[in-house]
Amino acid sequence: MTIETTDSSDSAPLSEREALTFNTDTDICVIGGGLAGLTMALESAKKGASVVVLEGRRVGWNASGHNMGSVMPGYGVPVDDLIERVGFDDTRELWALAQEGADYMRRKAGEIGNVDLTDGALEVSTVDAGDKLIHRLQLLGSDFGTDLEGWQVERVREVLKTRRYFHGIHYPKAFQLDGAKYVHGLARLAEAAGVRIFENTPAVSMDPNGIRKRIVTPSARLRASHIVLAGNIHIGAPAMRLAGTLLPVWRYAGITEPLGERLAEVIAFQGSVADADGIDHFRIVNGDRLMWSNPETTWNARPQKFARAIERRIRTIFPGLGDVAVESMWSGAFGRTVHGMPQIGRLRPGLWVVSGFGRQGLNTSAMGGDLISRSILWGDDRWKLFAPFELVWAGGTGGRVVGQVMGTLSRGASAATGTLARWREQLQKREQAREKSREARAASAKARSVQAMQAARARRAQTEARQRNRGGGDAA
């Protein structure tokens, strides 16, 4: 359920689009040419609105074009936490919206074509949490209608040859695709529907007051009835309040060298795999390579710096693979909200936001864009379901420091918990082995005792028989 990073260097050509150099009017101006903004623009144009998309750099240059491509049900916040915050009924409606986003992406992937779509996702636990697994299966399956199945430890370890993982939840209708191919295909669909996309055109300032809003770019001015803020942490001056609510996070990922047959011997699951602690996320690509996302920081760094960390992580989780070399590395930056949910809704009449999709999954960005389009043009008021997740300041530089420390501590705690779980499992196995040994010794001793008793009875019977024979001879 996290927006992470994927290599898109050879996935889709990045076509240059012109910058906006002339004044224009439009019904809707979308600031940000990522997945959410393009979805919103496409659906609005299909409903008859005129739409302009302003992208400060190039379509798909950041997180929307560099992700693991995972399309999962739900959000990045545990469903129990959502229920505690907004109640059971609203949580179920939110969950249904997230599923609509996943269904939307599958349909659009079919229209775009050639996005390397594969089915299935597996969430694995690093601790022996059978009771929690049963609870989640009941809640998500029975109460929320999610298509899933629980996997016992044996089945998980049948497809993932590692002792690091215990139980798992399999989502057969979840899927993954090439994020770069999808976002560029989405842009082409939007343009075919009449959307005008201008690259290298940042919004310098905006005036959201009045019936016709004003947006200023370096070379032109726009007027629009609605402004949609669909940017990430780089949205800049026009929406500093929005940018301040997002904690910037960089996720680093890599693709290994070809691993040949040894990869299939160790990893037999063809979908994406993520651990429940949100640390590791990986899947097989190009037949015999492993795409792996692991380190996360609140500070930008050179991606190649993390290659050895990913190599060590792969070796730790899957020792059966031996030494594995990472061939290419990259990173993507996304904004994470304080409350963990995306920011979707109306800030004031004519000013809308669809942002904050870090750690959410691609389905939520599609859902958010489609929902805001429906809200503006059809009066769909389900955006109010996100009202409890208002804009909350992320703490600036101090927030980034705290976020980094808390992330490090969380990963450390997860690793310690996982180690403890494996230690307990080993102790349990040893105790079971000792118990079997004790049972075997007891059974052997019992068998010897029975044999001794049978032998003693046989000797007594022989003695009694001899005595009877001697008694019979005396009588004669």
Least confident range from 69-83, 90-104, 358-372, 425-439: namely 425-439
More confident residue, 349 or 473: 349
- Percentage of the residues of the chain whose pLDDT score is greater than 70: 83
Is 318's pLDDT higher than 80? yes
Domain spanning 24-394: which superfamily?
FAD/NAD(P)-binding domain (3.50.50.60)
Mean pLDDT of 321-329: 94
Opening angle at CA 250, ends 362 and 315, nearest 5: 90
The helix or strand, by DSSP H or E, that contains position 206, with its residue range, turns out to be strand 205-207
Contact between residue 107 and residue 213 where contact means Cβ atoms under 8 Å apart: no
| Residue 231 backbone class (left: φ over 0; alpha: ψ -120 to 50; beta: rest) | beta
- Residue 323's nearest CA partner among 290, 299, 356 is 290
Residues 6+ apart with CB under 8 A from 377: 44, 47, 48, 49
pLDDT tens profile 348-379: 899 999 988 877 889 999 999 999 999 999 99
Domain chopping of the chain, boundaries: 24-394, 395-476
3-state secondary structure of 35: helix
Is 417's pLDDT higher than 50? no
pLDDT tens profile 74-92: 998 889 999 999 999 999 9
For residue 11, the model assigns a pLDDT of 43
In whole angstroms, what is the distance from residue 343 CA to residue 367 CA? 12
